[in-house]
């Protein structure tokens, strides 16, 4: 299911460890699994590893960091064989990624030998020949694979560990029983800065390019002649619009989706025709978000034309796709919001979140829309990752994985025709093997009466968690749900007695588009108040206490955390922030930054709208630092991060340290109050998501755990020794 990816795919300030919920690709993608991180990288031998920088003050955590590094490595190893959807299925071959490249096996053979179709070393050697590297360590990661309809060509995007600019490599595949060519791994060409890409035919590839974190151009690559030919297809002129190309599930229609924060425009290319010329579905209009899927001679449309401008499902003829021809098919009940959509056979399958916060599947018959039914999922399910259909897939079954931050991905399949839901869990990953994990869904009441959902993972009854350390997660921006995919680090903390809380504050998308709108621009303070209400509700419910509580956030999630730290420092003991966005006012004032123009729709425009300046100034973390005793903080930043410039993080850290020093200078009695530790960990590279390298990622996570245990005054748990018989 990649429908809503086109509505929310702009590279905003956020972090997701696997993919942006419901997305098949993203420049913000980070793979955290051991088997992905280790196997999907290739490092050139052109140099030694570059040194990474640790800022002063981190040395005191080194011993504990080494301890947690070992524990984390063991945890990742323990979960290294969990199910995933990394395989790409062709008509007769299965493609997979190893450490040094892409391989395939022929399913028609009884004992097939893997055939390497792309060696990542070839890409490095091409760099060396062209002089594009100068004794630097080049580590390539395979991001995505796309096969042409008859498997004549394979295209794959790669990226290096220190930059976000992806590269697309096109490879000509060998036919069965044909003699091996002189170069068995024949790279046809490479394309720089390619973000999204799809094959329309065996010889025609459409793709977008990423420039300064923005996709605005669509190109067409023709391989029909001896020399490849590239032509421009489309260019978006609005600076706040992000463009991508997406292939329909039945592979017949390719769409060019141009989306801003509040509007959409879609062009379609019919892959069954010879001219492959795009045609418009519905012209852009303010506050209209929509996406299309293909079914027979019709379009199935997901648009925010339902009550309260929430999503509903509509249909129109392919020959008359404009809004005047849209006919409603299904509108969810009040309180239930659609999170994604797919078309399986003659059914539309919706991922929806209920008013209680749980995920369900809603199946709508496209031949008789009144025959809609709901499929219940396990109560702990927080995310759904669907399997991309293979070339030979008839499309009658939806395969997917469900998971939570502490529940390993579990495979399921749904037959929409008869509503049969099957679990394909393997030994070791059945629900009973998930351990004694309790999932509790709470609601905190804000001062304005709004009920804010909180998802709690814990062991034992809620009433017995008063002495348990609490790690609170928050995001609340861009209409995106808080990331809740499985993470071995979270599972390790839970097993060591921690309670994990995920606060779904306004500004995110957990309760629909209106949930985001309520905390947009003028309403940003509501998200901060929501976070405070969540903490108060947790403490009053008997969950932990401020002295045992830490907050954690990434990127734009740091806004709510930083703002709360300025006004209610007593509510938490420690804070960890990764790539934190803390200077909202300064960023929105600077149009030269790559995300400012499109982000003003989210945060406001202090330059063009005088009313926005005092609003942003009222909550901006950097501009509200005052002399007081703050919680201890660990801020991790990346020197080349274009989304969150390092200058803002440095300025915030400096002002925070000065404010704390002033507080203790002006209040001598506060010498009995322990001074907080404010630590800045600066790492090299341009990646907003942190290191792709597995070992470097472990070091970063281990430092975070060492910091939390130290600042909360916890003794690190020691593994039990096995008794000798």
State the pairing for strand pair 499-503/470-474. Answer: parallel
* 50 assigned to active site: no
CB-based contacts of 198, cutoff 8 Å, min separation 6: 146, 205, 206, 207, 245, 246, 247, 254
Would the CA dihedral through 590, 583, 513, 340 be positive or negative?
positive
- DSSP structure class, residue 425: P
Check: CB of residue 458 under 8 Å from CB of residue 468: yes
The length of the chain in residues reads 725
Check: CB of residue 35 under 8 Å from CB of residue 77: no
Angle at 506 between CA 410 and CA 624, to 5 degrees: 125
* 63 assigned to active site: no
Residue 547 phi/psi, 5-degree rounding, is -70, -15
Check: CB of residue 561 under 8 Å from CB of residue 572: no
- List beta partners, residue 497: none
Query: If you compute the radius of gyration of the chain from its CA atoms, what whole number of angstroms results?
Result: 25
The helix (H) or strand (E) run that includes residue 709 is: helix 694-711
Catalytic one among 196, 263, 555, 587? 555
The region, left, alpha or beta by phi > 0 then psi within -120 to 50, assigned to residue 717 is: beta
Q: Which two tokens stand for residue 174?
A: 């060998």
- The half-sphere exposure of 717 on its side-chain side, counting CA atoms within 13 A, is 14
Q: How far is it, in rounded angstroms, from Cα 214 to Cα 165? A: 11
Angle at 705 between CA 546 and CA 357, to 5 degrees: 60
What b/e sequence results for 511-549 when a residue is b if at least 16 CB atoms lie within 10 Å of its CB, and e otherwise? bbbebbbbbbbeebebbbbbbbbbbbbbbebebbbeebb
- The half-sphere exposure of 364 on its side-chain side, counting CA atoms within 13 A, is 24
The helix (H) or strand (E) run that includes residue 472 is: strand 470-474
* 688 assigned to active site: yes
Helical packing angle, 62-78 and 694-711, nearest 10°: 120
Catalytic one among 93, 260, 688, 693? 688
Helical packing angle, 558-567 and 524-540, nearest 10°: 70
Q: How far, in Å, are 15, 89, 294, 596 from residue 40 at the CA level?
A: 20, 18, 33, 33
User: Tokens 């696997």 label which residue?
Assistant: 18
Q: Which two tokens stand for residue 578?
A: 């990764």
Other CB atoms within 10 Å distance of the CB of residue 179: 6
Q: How far, in Å, are 28, 134, 135, 338, 639 from residue 47 at the CA level?
A: 27, 9, 5, 49, 21
CB-based contacts of 568, cutoff 8 Å, min separation 6: 532
Q: Which residues are catalytic?
A: 555, 641, 688
């Amino acid at each position: 299911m990649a429908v809503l990816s086109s509505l929310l795919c702009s590279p905003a300030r956020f972090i997701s460890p696997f993919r942006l919920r419901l997305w098949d690709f993203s420049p913000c993608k980070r793979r955290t699994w051991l088997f992905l991180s280790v196997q999907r990288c290739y490092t050139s031998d052109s140099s030694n590893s570059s040194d990474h920088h640790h800022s002063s003050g981190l040395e005191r955590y080194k011993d504990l960091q080494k301890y947690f590094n070992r524990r984390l490595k063991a945890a990742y190893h323990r979960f290294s064989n969990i199910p995933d959807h990394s395989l790409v299925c062709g008509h007769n071959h299965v493609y997979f990624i190893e450490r040094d490249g892409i391989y395939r096996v022929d399913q028609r053979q009884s004992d097939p030998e893997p055939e390497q179709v792309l060696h990542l070393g070839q890409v490095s050697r091409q760099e060396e020949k062209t002089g594009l590297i100068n004794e630097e360590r080049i580590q390539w990661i395979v991001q995505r694979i796309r096969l042409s309809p008859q498997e004549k060509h394979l295209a794959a995007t790669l990226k290096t560990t220190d930059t976000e600019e992806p590269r697309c490599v096109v490879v000509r595949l060998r036919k069965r029983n044909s003699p091996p060519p002189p170069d068995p791994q024949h790279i046809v060409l490479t394309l720089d800065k390619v973000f999204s890409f799809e094959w329309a035919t065996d010889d025609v590839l459409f793709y977008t390019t990423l420039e300064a974190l923005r996709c605005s151009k669509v190109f067409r690559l023709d391989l029909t002649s001896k020399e490849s030919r590239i032509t421009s297809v489309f260019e978006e002129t609005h600076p706040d619009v992000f463009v991508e190309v997406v292939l329909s599930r039945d592979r017949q229609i390719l769409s060019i989706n141009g989306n801003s924060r509040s509007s959409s425009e879609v062009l379609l290319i019919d892959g069954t025709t010879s001219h492959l010329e795009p045609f418009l579905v519905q012209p852009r209009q303010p506050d209209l978000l929509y996406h299309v899927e293909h079914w027979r001679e019709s379009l199935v449309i997901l648009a925010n034309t339902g009550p309260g401008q929430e999503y509903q499902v509509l249909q129109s003829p392919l020959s008359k796709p404009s809004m005047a021809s849209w006919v409603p098919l299904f509108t969810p009940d009040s309180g239930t919001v659609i999170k994604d959509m797919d078309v399986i056979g003659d059914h539309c399958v919706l991922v929806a979140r209920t008013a209680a916060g749980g995920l369900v599947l809603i199946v709508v018959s496209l031949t008789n829309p009144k025959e809609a039914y709901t499929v219940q999922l396990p109560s702990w399910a927080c995310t759904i990752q669907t399997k991309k259909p293979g070339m030979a897939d008839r499309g009658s079954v939806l395969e997917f994985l469900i998971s939570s931050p502490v529940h390993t991905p579990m495979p399921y399949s749904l037959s929409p025709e008869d509503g049969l839901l099957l679990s394909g869990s393997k030994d070791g990953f059945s629900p009973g093997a998930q351990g004694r994990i309790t999932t509790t869904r709470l609601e905190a009441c804000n001062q304005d009466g709004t009920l804010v959902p909180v998802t709690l993972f814990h062991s034992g009854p809620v009433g017995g968690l008063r002495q348990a350390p609490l790690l609170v997660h928050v995001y609340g921006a861009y209409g995106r749900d808080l990331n809740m995919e499985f993470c071995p680090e979270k599972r390790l903390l839970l097993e060591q007695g921690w309670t994990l809380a995920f606060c779904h504050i306004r500004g995110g998308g957990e309760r629909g588009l209106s949930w985001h709108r309520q905390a947009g621009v003028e309403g940003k303070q509501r998200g901060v108040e929501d976070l405070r209400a969540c903490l108060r509700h947790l403490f009053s419910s008997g969950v932990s206490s401020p002295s045992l509580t830490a907050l954690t956030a990434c990127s734009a999630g740091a806004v709510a955390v930083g703002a709360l730290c300025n006004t209610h420092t007593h509510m938490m003991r420690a804070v960890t922030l990764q790539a934190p966005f803390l200077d909202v006012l300064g960023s929105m004032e600077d149009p030269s930054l790559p995300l400012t123009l499109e982000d003003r729709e989210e945060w406001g425009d202090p330059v063009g709208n005088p009313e926005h300046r005092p609003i942003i100034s009222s909550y901006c973390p950097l501009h509200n630092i005052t002399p007081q005793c703050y919680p201890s903080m660990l801020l991790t930043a990346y020197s080349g991060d274009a989304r969150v410039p390092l200058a803002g993080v440095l300025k915030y850290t400096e002002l925070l340290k000065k404010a704390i020093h002033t507080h203790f200078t002006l209040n001598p009695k506060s010498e009995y109050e322990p001074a907080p530790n404010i630590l800045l960990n600066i790492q090299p590279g341009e990646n907003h998501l942190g290191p792709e390298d597995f070992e470097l990622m472990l070091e970063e996570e281990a430092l975070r755990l060492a910091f939390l245990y130290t600042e909360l005054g916890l003794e690190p748990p020691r593994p039990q020794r096995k008794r000798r018989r």
